[in-house]
Amino acid sequence: MPAVPTVEATMLGKLDWSAIPFDQPIPLVAGAVVLVAILGVLIWVVVKGHLPYLWHEWITSVDHKRIGVMYILLASVMLLRGGSDAIMMRIQQAVAYQSQGYLPPEHYNQIFSAHGTIMIFFVAMPFVIGLMNLVVPLQLGVRDVAFPTLNSVGFWLTATGALLVNLSLVIGEFARTGWLAFPPLSELSYSPGVGVDYYAWSLQISGVGTLVAGINLVTTVLKLRTKGMNYLRMPMFCWTTLASNLLIVAAFPILTATLAMLLLDRYLGFHFFTNEAGGNVMMFMNLIWAWGHPEVYILVLPAFGIFSEVVSTFSGKALFGYRSMVLATMAICVISFMVWLHHFFTMGAGPDVNAIFGIASMIIAIPTGVKIYNWLFTMYGGRIRFATPMLWSVGFMVTFIIGGLTGVLLAVPPADFMLHNSMFLVAHFHNVIIGGVLFGAFAGFEYWFPKAFGFRLDERWGKAAFWFTFLGFFVTFIPLYVAGMLGMTRRMQHYDVAAWRPWMIVAAFGMAVLTIGVICQILQLVVSIRNREALRDRTGDPWDGRSLEWATSSPPPVFNFAFNPDVRGEDAYWDMKARARQQSLEHDAPEYRDIEMPRNSPTGFVCAFFATIMGFALIWHIWWMVILGGLGAFATFVVFAWRDHDEYVIPAEEVARIDRVNLEERRSLVSMAGAI
Amino acid sequence: MSDQTHMHAEHDLAPGDEEQHSVGVRILGYVVGLALALLLTATSFFIAGTDLVWQPSIPVALIVLAIAQMGVHLVFFLHITTGPDNTNNVLALAFGLLVVFLVVGGTVWIMAHLNANMPPMDQIMRMQ
Ligand code: HEM
Ligand SMILES: [Cu+2]
């Protein structure tokens, strides 16, 4: 009997009931739980009448602070998802000795691919971009970012990517190719399912969001600085933001182009990276790492900036070697584009090429070392307060040095031939990414939380979270170094070597300790919200900070500063803030003026809504829906481009009213300080 | 955000911001740019097909013309100048060129070595 195409087959592309994994309880139950949780929250929001508030104050907000907070929220939720994957993998490797464990191979492969993808693109990236959004305009002393609405579009497109990845849990499957989807495995002939398409389209869509965020932040730092804030007076975090976003602008198009070629292979029968017809797999390897290595510095540079701020604040001293720090940052920015081959030393480039790239990789450790010494010298002779942000920073220095050293080891080609794709490599990059990026994100979270929400976080739970995470990290990842040196390769669903077993069990135990750390972090948030009145930050300067974000109230008003601060001193932060404070305190009745701020706009949300539809339709080959989504997104753009009222005015009296409250608090603080 | 415009560092303008001339002068600039661009394009096509010049010089001439073409675009359409109000644009251009040079140069170099060391299967067969 000839197969008659049914209506569904034409209307819904590849989508049918077999896409729902009824036979696999783990993803189904996990998906169901998440779905129920989301529905529960939605119903609660609607019933309680919070929907208008959410819509007006958050979803359509173009306020950089709100967008920053939403980025961080997205990252935190995704951290829980990626963390669950990690727990599952650690348990699997602890039990799968001479047995299949509890996760079948095709499921295990999806988990490690999703884990890597989520952790890099939907945890680390949004977390640092969120912090940059939240803080950088405040540090520069300005009222907003360069492109407020575009900023919101960027956030919502990132959220779309995250949504699509998580959708793959219940509808269809995710890639089984690892977080970089190397061909030929990711080509149609070896991965015929929708997994790789979920991967590629989520990254294409969120990649646009990231690029937009990058352009916005570069422009903000270059073009919007308050009076007198010249480049060499900018706080270190602004410098690392600039460097990191320059890298985004330069590197993300490479990722987009590479994935676009992979998609052409998969959708239109091109042969860029196939085995046959003149395709070249190594070109993918080359291009993806030309993006991939800058990417790791995109993540870690902002973290370096956060540590610079935290270390100098909590040591009560100006940052040691500010100019060398700037130079080191920009050096890393350039050198990070000269080392990408170290990710495929073993794939046949030959001795000369390997030697050059190996040496370049080692050279990048020099500016990094400069930074470490600068932080140490900043602490030296300072009166150090070991508050939670400072603990994360000191913990980072210890952890990151180890990770950097193993990186330099891997950059020696002969050593890399032994260690490439072993558990040693896995330990290396977790060592730098957890110890560098995640610790940095947590330090920034603890440090700037009072600024964002107006109350401090509970120190006891914060310290507990730090110690559990710090110790848990070493118990989890030091065994992986050992297992790597015993020859264990990465991504093993099961194994038969007895010598590896104990290390996998220790690592699983370490994962449990890490989990306690995460739970402490959640409890910290809960406890702090409940005690918020006691923890209230009235002055806007809870840590005795050194840069301009502490010169306004917590949380800052929409317009950030009633007066754009005037930065005059050569002697950067401390002086700058003292001066800024004085200025606003000096005159008793300053002359307030009307302030114009950009209007809220649903453009970002609506665009992302259509992008989600389009992405989903592309994954499932539902062509009419692709067109619908594309048209919708385009129409949204046109409507936005044609609107004529894009700003609203906050009257001077309102500005005065808001500002006076904070001024009073600050006055009492200054007079107290004067009395001492 | 209008009251932030005065905060821009003085010697620093975005592309398009710098135009304080009248419309006529601006149009003239674009017309000159267009004419030069067309001239360079036409010359390239002419050189590529002609046998009036020494043949090996043709690729060199084409490269020179292409670079001149980029220069014309940068100066007349993207308004890159050497003036002090253009530092950001020039630096951005330099950074972009550096990255392109590193990535393209590195790629060519790496891929050439990979091809030499790991030729495709059929080529290995032929070599034996
Ligand atoms: C001194 C600095 C560093 C050096 C010399 C270095 C060197 C290396 C080398 C040679 C590899 C490839 C090993 C192999 O595949 O066999 C590697 C992998 C990796 N490194 Fe580093 N690294 C450094 C810092 C960092 C930092 C700061 C990060 C992230 C923030 C990072 C993230 C990664 C990641 C994610 C991978 C592996 C990705 C994968 O194969 O899936 N590295 N590193
Ligand atoms: Cu690398």
Q: What is the DSSP string of A334-352?
A: HHTTS-GGGGGGGGS--HH
Reported confidence tier of residue A659, pLDDT bands at 50, 70, 90? confident
Lowest mean pLDDT among A130-139, A287-296, A432-441, B9-18: B9-18
- pLDDT for the residue numbered B18: 52
Reported confidence tier of residue A665, pLDDT bands at 50, 70, 90? confident
Give B21 to chain A, closest Cα distance, Å: 23
Pairwise CB contact (< 8 Å): B3 & A230: no
| Cβ–Cβ under 8 Å, residues A484 and A495 | no
Residues on chain A touching B118 (C-beta within 8 angstroms): 282, 347-348
Q: Which residues contact A657 (CB under 8 A, 6 or more apart)?
A: none
Give B80 to chain A, closest Cα distance, Å: 17
Nearest alpha-carbon partner for A312 in A241, A229, A242, A383: A383
How many CB atoms sit inside 10 A of residue B59's CB?
Answer: 11
Lowest mean pLDDT among A26-35, A56-65, A272-281, B104-113: A26-35
Mean pLDDT, residues A305-311: 94
Residues in chain B whose Cβ is within 8 Å of chain A:
1-4, 7-9, 12, 14, 88, 95-96, 98-99, 102-103, 106-107, 109-111, 113-114, 116-118
- Beta carbon pairs, A and B, within 8 Å: 76
- pLDDT for the residue numbered B3: 38
pLDDT, tens digit (0-9, with 9 covering 90-100), for A289-299: 999 999 999 99
Pocket of ligand 1 (CB under 6 A): A 296, 299-300, 342-343, 361, 364-365, 368, 404, 407-408, 410-411, 416, 419-420, 425, 428-429, 432-433, 436-437
Mean pLDDT, residues A221-248: 89
Give A292 to chain B, closest Cα distance, Å: 12
Q: For the CA atoms of B41, B44, B50, B51, what is the dihedral angle to 10 degrees?
A: 160
pLDDT, tens digit (0-9, with 9 covering 90-100), for A510-564: 999 999 999 999 999 999 999 888 888 888 888 888 888 888 888 888 888 887 7
Ligand number nearest CA of A343 is: 1
- Element counts in chain B: helices (H) and strands (E): 4, 0
Residue A52 Cα distances to A49, A605, A658, angstroms? 7, 15, 24
Residues on chain A touching B113 (C-beta within 8 angstroms): 348-350, 352-353
Nearest CA to ligand 1 atom 23: A407
Nearest alpha-carbon partner for A232 in A347, A362, A323, A161: A323
| Cβ–Cβ under 8 Å, residues A611 and A629 | yes
Ligand number nearest CA of A416 is: 1
| Cβ–Cβ under 8 Å, residues A569 and A579 | yes
CA angle A356–A360–A362, rounded 5-degree value? 120
Nearest CA to ligand 1 atom 20: A429
Residues in chain A whose Cβ is within 8 Å of chain B:
142-144, 222-227, 230, 246, 250, 254, 280, 282-283, 286-287, 290, 334, 337-338, 340-341, 347-350, 352-353, 564, 593, 595-598, 647
- pLDDT for the residue numbered B9: 43
Mean pLDDT, residues A389-408: 93
pLDDT, tens digit (0-9, with 9 covering 90-100), for B64-105: 999 999 889 888 888 877 777 777 788 888 888 899 999 999
Crossing angle for the helix pair A195-223 and A236-268, nearest 10 degrees? 150
Out of A410, A424, A491, give the residue to mutate to test ligand 1, the one with the largest number of ligand atoms within 8 Å of its CB: A410
Mutation site for B-interface testing, chosen from A286, A361, A591 by largest number of B Cβ within 10 Å: A286
| Cβ–Cβ under 8 Å, residues A251 and A295 | yes
* ipTM over 0.90 threshold: no
Name the closest residue on chain B to residue A231, using Cα atoms.
B9
Ligand number nearest CA of A124 is: 1
pLDDT, tens digit (0-9, with 9 covering 90-100), for A592-646: 888 888 888 888 899 889 999 999 999 988 888 899 999 998 888 888 877 777 7
Give A249 to chain B, closest Cα distance, Å: 9
